[in-house]
Amino acid sequence: MRPSMTARRPGTGLLYLITSGLLWGTGGLTGSLLSRVAGLSALSVAACRLTAGGVLIVIFLTVSGPRWPVGRAAWTRIAVIGALAALYQSCYFTAVALTSVALATLVTIGLINALVWYGRLHMRLLKPALGQEEISA
């Protein structure tokens, strides 16, 4: 087992699950309120949310003490995930501004399954061309 798995106290997983559910569930409403009250655009709301999340992740990594990512591949993966998160947030808050929080969330929940299926399908098709080790890295 990894050292981080043995140091975990019972019940912390449930606490993390509840906290993440509350934060995810109130994200659209908070973004909508920020947009209306502060007059921020959808891109500004997405930037605020991503900045706050990034700062919290850096604080967590600094306090908890795990190793920071090492190597070009790890940082490239982090950059790609960050860019995709920025794209997602921008699209989501634009949809919230154009429609409603409820409709944007419903479409997001329904669409993510199709996107994951599409991505996995293409990853399977790319495996023979790229080789297994490049895809799983």
Q: DSSP code of 65?
A: -
Distance from chain centroid for Cα 93: 14
> Percentage of the chain with pLDDT > 70?
85
Q: What is the pLDDT of residues 51-76, one digit of tens each?
A: 888 888 888 888 887 778 888 888 88
Say what the pLDDT of residue 134 is: 52
Q: What is the pLDDT of residue 71?
A: 87
The pLDDT value given to residue 127 = 67
Spatial contact of 45 and 93, defined as CB atoms under 8 Å apart: yes
Across 43-57, 69-83, 115-129, least confident range: 115-129
Q: How many residues does the chain have?
A: 137
Q: Quick one: how far is CA 13 from the chain centroid?
A: 18
Q: pTM for the complete prediction?
A: 0.61
CA gap 137, 77 in Å, rounded: 9
Q: Give the per-residue pLDDT at 26.
A: 80
CA distance 34 to 29: 9
Reported confidence tier of residue 96, pLDDT bands at 50, 70, 90: confident
Token readout for 87 is 């794209």
**Which tens digit of pLDDT belongs to each residue from 1-40?**
445 555 667 777 888 888 888 877 787 788 888 888 888 8
Contact (Cβ atoms closer than 8 angstroms) between residue 69 and residue 78:
yes
